[in-house]
A and B are shown apart, each in its own frame.
Chain A
Amino acid sequence: SQKIEQNSEALNIQEGKTATLTCNYTNYSPAYLQWYRQDPGRGPVFLLLIRENEKEKRKERLKVTFDTTLKQSLFHITASQPADSATYLCALCTSGTYKYIFGTGTRLKVLA
């Protein structure tokens, strides 16, 4: 069956370091992969989209990589700040559908 895995344990890092979050998937051929940020008690907010034929995407301090051979996406936040503390969700969508399947998210805490 289709499965998306994100590290369920919280990730604590020191301010100024690069945070790296992982999204692995199985039995899936996504056409699109997205990353969202979710703060407690709020809806997710879209951050970045990467397509199956793209290896890397950047936006300000954010970088996403997509390796369809390894079936893995990495999400990097460089020069992390306490304000980056949140839960980060990855979501996959296959070609021909509008539906995304979401991972359970990884909680990131950036320590001052």
Chain B
Amino acid sequence: DVKVTQSSRYLVKRTGEKVFLECVQDMDHENMFWYRQDPGLGLRLIYFSYDVKMKEKGDIPEGYSVSREKKERFSLILESASTNQTSMYLCASSSSYRSRGYEQYFGPGTRLTVT
């Protein structure tokens, strides 16, 4: 059974803290993604990675950075957390084979609250 896991389901941090969100997939997928999901705004792409050490900005990268040192692991870093980063964060992975249509497998999500 394919699996994407995220390090925490719930997280509470203070403004200005550095926050690390970890994501691990066991499907040997090339592509990994970080989204945030907010009511009325849907899923918005923050960053994605198509290979180890490779990354590309999504639609809302400001205030975030990422790291992919190993194929199975993709980390999202909030350099200095702010209250407007309170959100649900979702990690996903997909194969890069066109025949698979790039279907994405999502983790359970991390609900981050910044106070």
User: Hey, which chain B residues are within 8 Å of A61, CB to CB?
Assistant: none
A43-B90 contact, Cβ under 8 Å, with A98-B96, A99-B48, A102-B43: yes
How far apart sit A107 and B60, CA to CA, in the bound complex (Å)? 25
B87 CB, min distance to chain A CBs, angstroms: 13
Which residues 64-103 in A have Cβ within 8 Å of B in the complex? 89, 91, 93, 98-103
On whether the beta carbons of B103 and A34 are closer than 8 Å, the reply is yes
User: Hey, which chain B residues are within 8 Å of A8, CB to CB?
Assistant: 40
A25 beta carbon closer than 8 Å to chain B: no
How far apart sit A51 and B103, CA to CA, in the bound complex (Å)? 12
On whether the beta carbons of A41 and B109 are closer than 8 Å, the reply is yes
User: Hey, which chain B residues are within 8 Å of A98, CB to CB?
Assistant: 31, 48, 50, 94, 96, 102
On whether the beta carbons of A99 and B90 are closer than 8 Å, the reply is no
A108 CB, min distance to chain B CBs, angstroms: 16
On whether the beta carbons of B103 and A46 are closer than 8 Å, the reply is yes
How does the 8 Å CB contact mask read for B1-16 relative to A, with 1 for contact and 0 for none? Answer: 0001000000000000
A62 beta carbon closer than 8 Å to chain B: no
A71 CB, min distance to chain B CBs, angstroms: 18
User: Hey, which chain A residues are within 8 Å of B31, CB to CB?
Assistant: 98
On whether the beta carbons of B106 and A102 are closer than 8 Å, the reply is no
Known contacts A43-B108, A102-B43, then 18 further A-B pairs from the complex at CB < 8 Å, ordered by chain A residue: A32-B102, A34-B103, A41-B109, A42-B109, A43-B4, A44-B43, A44-B106, A46-B103, A46-B105, A51-B101, A93-B102, A98-B31, A98-B50, A98-B102, A99-B48, A99-B58, A100-B102, A104-B42
A residues touching B (Cβ–Cβ < 8 Å)? 8, 32, 34, 36, 41-46, 49, 51, 89, 91, 93, 98-105
24 contacts across the A-B interface (CB closer than 8 A):
A32-B101, A34-B103, A41-B111, A42-B108, A43-B4, A43-B90, A43-B92, A43-B107, A44-B43, A45-B106, A46-B103, A49-B103, A89-B43, A93-B101, A98-B31, A98-B48, A98-B96, A99-B33, A99-B45, A99-B48, A101-B45, A103-B42, A104-B41, A104-B42
